[in-house]
Amino acid sequence: MVTGPPCGPASVQAPPATRAPADPAALQRQLDGVVEAGTPGVVALVRTGQQTWQGASGLGNLAAKRPARAGDRFRIGSVTKSFVATVALQLVGEDKFGLDDPLARWLPGLVPNGDDITVRQLLNHTSGLYDYTDDLPEPPRPFQPRQLVAIATGHRPLFVAGKRFSYSNTNYILAGLVIERVTGQRLATQLQQRIVGPLSLGDTEFPAT
């Protein structure tokens, strides 16, 4: 994975296992080139068959001017959505709630048109809800999930729920809140118990602050 701007990392395709291992010096030059192009810092891991190469370039901490390290942790951005969707579908499979339940059933009053939006529409981005990331104040600061929902619902819906597709981070903030309401536990706890722990993802965590 290659870290970049706040939008999250970009995938690096490793050579097929049948090919010779990539040249470490060439890989390092590629990382240095990403930094020279303007990215603050980059880390990468390349697997070729049974061989693994890790590298880094640039800064891992801008404030402290600390160089990036191959073992640095970084935010995986929207990959989190697949984790949240997995937990939601597990709960549906356990009959804890239904995909076609209206949002208002679990989060009454939080979204003005919550009676007309289903959990399914949150997960497949057909809710029509405005994406809060398009209206975040500057400079960036921490927000609670319900504050982010308030930013989104301060805008008119983009369309009637179910009529179109529009990628919106607001959908998965709400899906996380539904999971918390259904289970009575923090989303971070559910992700740990259902995904991170069972899969032994020792270097993965959900930031809870």
CA proximity to 132, closest of 120, 118, 121, 146: 146
Q: For residue 182, which of 101, 83, 80, 78 has the smallest C-alpha distance?
A: 101
Residues taking part in catalysis: 78
What number of other Cβ atoms are within 10 A of residue 166's Cβ?
A: 16
Could you tell me which of 123, 186, 183, 173 has the C-alpha nearest to residue 147? 173
DSSP character string of 89-104: HHHHHTTSS-TTSBHH
Token pair in block for residue 74: 């970084």
Intra-chain end-to-end CA distance of the chain, in Å: 24
Residue 205 falls in which region: left (phi positive, over 0), alpha (psi -120 to 50) or beta: beta
Q: How far is CA 31 from CA 60, 71, 104, 151, 186, in A?
A: 13, 15, 47, 37, 37
**Rounded Cα gap, residues 2 and 42, in angstroms:** 5
Tell me which amino acid residue 85 is. Answer: A
The β-bridge partners of 69 are none
